[in-house]
Chain A
């Protein structure tokens, strides 16, 4: 009885972790894809992601900036202060050569993942 309960809790924990990893991974991909086009600052990134995904993906302050700092720390993006069109200083993030290198395999991985999911659950025909 106790083992079953522990196993159940572990499976719930694993599921939560998987979901959070998927959410995190997809958000990272979305940011990198956007920045591959042009350097953007935080507000523009969150706005464009929300617009381009029809609101399916959106960031709060608590999720966007820690992720940007994490990507920056990994050396995939780099930020620098520049004035925006309104002349206000904003921290623009752009893809680094390492980030560019990382984007292609990341795209392939996600493509592979969605294809696998589609084969399993027929997601695209649902």
Chain B
């Protein structure tokens, strides 16, 4: 219940401080916390014999520093956060796993094209080594995502992102083939899906698995 004679600190703080550019709930919490602080300071001054108006004025003077306060709060809340949470939790980890997976595939293909390796099967030279490397790519994506504070879905997506991209591409190719060729070669498509999608997805998931467990929450010690 707000007493008529005492200032409404929440309103005063809100008027002087907002907008802070933070999410609404966070902004409300900051306002409530600062208002509570001012209220305690004000009451303490009243108890020590300072007149109500003088106490109010002193506390309001602190609020006149609001430009600095707002700037400092924004800096503290968003310090070193060059990326928004979505980028940190999903896009960057996904990009890392995609780059690692596609980069390693490209390197393996380039190696297999070396004259001394010509004649060896692509399965031996490209696919098997790639499948062996993919768990690390999945692990990198899921680990970065977990480090960014992502939930389970985002961590799975980050780990499997290379296959999501590849699946979209292969899917488009298959649909195109179905449209262009009246009689598509089904065994060929099945092999493509098995070797190009299912096995690599499993490999990525194996790597991502250790990072899919929930992290310990930060409680007060």
Residues of A within 8 A of B (CB): 39, 41-43, 46-47, 60-70, 73, 75, 78, 80, 88-91, 94-100
B150 CB → nearest A CB, Å: 16
Give the residue of B30, B36, B73 whose beta carbon is less than 8 angstroms from that of A88: B36
Q: Does B37 lie within 8 Å of A43, measured CB to CB?
A: yes
Cα distance A99–B36 when bound, in Å? 25
Select from chain A the residue with minimum beta-carbon distance to B220. A94
Q: Does A66 lie within 8 Å of B69, measured CB to CB?
A: yes
Q: Does B36 lie within 8 Å of A91, measured CB to CB?
A: yes
Give the residue of A43, A64, A68 whose beta carbon is less than 8 angstroms from that of B40: A43
Q: Does A67 lie within 8 Å of B76, measured CB to CB?
A: yes
CB neighbours (8 Å) of A80 from chain B are: 220
CB neighbours (8 Å) of A66 from chain B are: 69, 72-73, 75-76
CB neighbours (8 Å) of B213 from chain A are: none
Cα distance A21–B37 when bound, in Å? 26
Cα distance A67–B72 when bound, in Å? 8
Question: 5 A-B contacts, Cβ less than 8 Å apart?
Answer: A39-B220, A43-B40, A62-B68, A96-B220, A99-B221
Cα distance A102–B220 when bound, in Å? 14
- Residue-wise interface mask of B (186-221) relative to A, using a CB-CB cutoff of 8 A (1 in contact, 0 not): 000000000000000000000000000000001111
CB neighbours (8 Å) of B37 from chain A are: 42-43, 46, 61, 64-65
A46 CB → nearest B CB, Å: 8
Q: Give chain B's interface secondary structure class.
A: helix
Residues of B within 8 A of A (CB): 29-30, 32-34, 36-41, 44, 62-63, 65, 68-69, 72-73, 75-77, 79, 218-221
Select from chain B the residue with minimum beta-carbon distance to A94. B220
Cα distance A126–B60 when bound, in Å? 39
* A61-B63, A78-B218, A98-B218 given; A42·B76 CB < 8 A: no
Nearest 3 pairs of A and B residues by beta carbon: A94-B220, A66-B72, A66-B76
Select from chain A the residue with minimum beta-carbon distance to B66. A62
Q: Does B36 lie within 8 Å of A41, measured CB to CB?
A: yes
Cα distance A60–B66 when bound, in Å? 11
Q: Does A65 lie within 8 Å of B69, measured CB to CB?
A: yes
CB neighbours (8 Å) of A62 from chain B are: 62, 65, 68-69, 72
Q: Does B221 lie within 8 Å of A96, measured CB to CB?
A: yes
User: A62-B62, A63-B72 are known contacts; what are 14 more A-B pairs with Cβ within 8 Å?
Assistant: A42-B37, A46-B37, A61-B63, A62-B65, A62-B68, A62-B69, A64-B37, A65-B69, A69-B73, A91-B33, A94-B220, A94-B221, A95-B221, A100-B221
Cα distance A88–B42 when bound, in Å? 15
Cα distance A90–B38 when bound, in Å? 12
Q: Does B73 lie within 8 Å of A65, measured CB to CB?
A: yes
CB neighbours (8 Å) of A88 from chain B are: 36, 39
CB neighbours (8 Å) of A99 from chain B are: 221
Give the residue of B62, B76, B219 whose beta carbon is less than 8 angstroms from that of A69: B76
CB neighbours (8 Å) of B77 from chain A are: 69, 73
A29 CB → nearest B CB, Å: 17
A101 CB → nearest B CB, Å: 9
